[in-house]
Chains A and B, each alone.
Chain A
Amino acid sequence: MSRAGLELRAQRLGKTFGAREVLRDLDLVVRGGEFVAIVGRSGCGKSTLLRTFAGLEQPSRGEIRFDGSISQGLHPDVRMIFQESRLLPWRTAISNVEIGERGEAGKRSNVKTRAAHAQELLAHVGLGDRALDWPGKLSGGQRQRVALARGLMSDPRLLLLDEPLGALDALTRLEMQRLVERLWVERQFTAVLVTHEIQEAVALADRVIVLESGMITGSFELAMTRPRVREEPAFIETCAALLKLIVSPALGPEAARGLPAAV
């Protein structure tokens, strides 16, 4: 089950919508198995960047490579989790998870193993007993759990997370962060998380990328041990330093030097 994570390499990536330049000359390498968080204010282009990685948007300039080969749009080993769960309301939870199983050739395993696999994943995200419920009967957090299970059904090598916890309440969000971290540790996929929550980025990521007007203005390795404790000084200091950087982008790389040494 542990296929190695996919390496993502974006080179001189640019995206324009009409006259509006959303991404400019962006270079980014995400190592296989790495957890990268992209933070930035709304409208900084972080969602567009993720959608370009997913193949939902075509880059206007530059290229994206997965494990060295140029991306041709949607990649069979890449899955995306959206802010809204985007479950099919007319399918039960388990049947929604089964939708996620699909290889490149479009081949599906037989119905029995598929259902068993889906049930196993549902149980894994803590919803084993809700398999036959309609999505309409699940809470927002539960729906995102189903969406996560669906995203993992094909055992993807790169998981793109577009503010998947943005619409959840604070307590549910903490719970879900732990779940995402656990799944990532177990399955060793590459993860790219877009979020506006700095704490979330610091809690989950190996590296935090700061995006501002379509450009990367900061990149910070976080070496804190997992699971990370929010009450620890290093955690709080890192959050504060990152926040400062995002709120006053003029500081640029200078502020980065102000990050605590322990990080």
Chain B
Amino acid sequence: MRSGELLRHVEISSARAFSGFLIGGSVGFAFGVINGYWRLADRLFDTPLQMVRNVPHLALIPMVIIWFGLGEEAKLFLVALGVFFPIYVNTLHGVRSVDPGLIEMARVFHLSRGELFRKVILPGAIPSVLVGVRFGLGVMWLTLIVAETLGADSGIGYLAMNAREFMQTDVVVACVILYAFLGKWADVAARWLERWFLAWNTSQASASGHVR
């Protein structure tokens, strides 16, 4: 393998992973906030979403291939779908579990709806959202590995599959190790986010240890 080629595959895989994460994560976050905030939206959307959630998203691979073919869209869709649910469920939980006492306080102090959302509900939901982000990152790599073994011509998954054809065990092992490092890197990033967002939470150190 030429030098620099490995780096190119890592870049492609990372780009796929994070694009999928961004798409699935934002949609999941938006649905979580809307359904947590408005009862009507929750009645409309939660049941269908929970039904889809109970289908393992990798079981949809045959369908995804029919819909999107073997191109980039299929991989992005799978990653986004996988990431959507942990972020949706945790955001919903976070918005709902904001201390009602604080919401009442906001009423007494005449905060506007927008302020209530920005200053009370959103920051109150962040710890739970970040738990969702960490779960989501795990799902992200897992989904990508599977997606890249399906008719890809680049990425780490493709490298591993290709190496298997030529019995290059060393390359396969290298790919697995690479995945481990990328996963660890994502986790470190998530922890960093927690430290940044939850500086106010004095019990943060003990709270962030057991999210997996």
The interface residues of chain B lying within 8 Å CB-to-CB of A82 are 101, 105
The interface residues of chain A lying within 8 Å CB-to-CB of B123 are 88, 90
Interface size on B, residues (CB 8 A): 21
Q: Indicate if the CB atoms of B108 and A99 lie closer than 8 Å.
A: no
Q: What distance in Å separates the Cβ of A10 from its nearest Cβ neighbour in chain B?
A: 18
What is the 8 Å Cβ interface bit string for chain A, positions 96-107, against chain B (1 contact, 0 not)?
000110101010
CA distance A86 to B124 in the complex (A): 13
The interface residues of chain A lying within 8 Å CB-to-CB of B109 are 79, 99-100, 102, 150, 154
CA distance A135 to B201 in the complex (A): 9
B47 within 8 A of A: no
DSSP class of A's interface residues: helix, strand, loop or mixed? Answer: loop
Interface size on A, residues (CB 8 A): 25
Q: Indicate if the CB atoms of A134 and B202 lie closer than 8 Å.
A: yes
Q: Indicate if the CB atoms of B108 and A56 lie closer than 8 Å.
A: yes
B64 within 8 A of A: no
A252 within 8 A of B: no
Q: Indicate if the CB atoms of B200 and A134 lie closer than 8 Å.
A: yes
CA distance A54 to B110 in the complex (A): 12
With A56-B104, A82-B101: A102-B200 Cβ-Cβ less than 8 Å = no
Q: Indicate if the CB atoms of A102 and B105 lie closer than 8 Å.
A: no
With A84-B101, A86-B101, A99-B119: A54-B201 Cβ-Cβ less than 8 Å = no
B186 within 8 A of A: no
B8 within 8 A of A: no
Q: What distance in Å separates the Cβ of B82 from its nearest Cβ neighbour in chain A?
A: 30
Q: What distance in Å separates the Cβ of A94 from its nearest Cβ neighbour in chain B?
A: 13
Q: Indicate if the CB atoms of A79 and B108 lie closer than 8 Å.
A: yes
Task: Choose from B112, B119, B202 the contact partner of A137 (Cβ within 8 Å).
Answer: B202
The interface residues of chain A lying within 8 Å CB-to-CB of B12 are none
What is the 8 Å Cβ interface bit string for chain A, positions 35-70, against chain B (1 contact, 0 not)?
000000000000000000010100000000000000
The interface residues of chain A lying within 8 Å CB-to-CB of B99 are 86
The interface residues of chain B lying within 8 Å CB-to-CB of A134 are 199-200, 202
Q: What distance in Å separates the Cβ of B110 from its nearest Cβ neighbour in chain A?
A: 5
Residue of B nearest to A103 (CB): B110
Task: Choose from A74, A80, A88 the contact partner of B120 (Cβ within 8 Å).
Answer: A88
**Which of B110, B111, B201 has the most chain A CB atoms inside 10 A of its CB?**
B110
A136 within 8 A of B: yes
Q: Indicate if the CB atoms of B201 and A136 lie closer than 8 Å.
A: yes
Interface residues of B in 117-137 (CB under 8 A from A): 119-120, 123-124, 126
A258 within 8 A of B: no
Q: Indicate if the CB atoms of A136 and B108 lie closer than 8 Å.
A: no
Q: What distance in Å separates the Cβ of A80 from its nearest Cβ neighbour in chain B?
A: 5
Footprint of A on B, CB under 8 Å?
A: 99, 101-102, 104-105, 107-112, 119-120, 123-124, 126, 199-203
User: Lowest 4 CB-CB distances: which A-B pairs, in order?
Assistant: A86-B105, A136-B202, A90-B123, A134-B200
Footprint of B on A, CB under 8 Å?
A: 54, 56, 74, 76, 78-80, 82, 84, 86, 88-91, 99-100, 102, 104, 106, 134-137, 150, 154
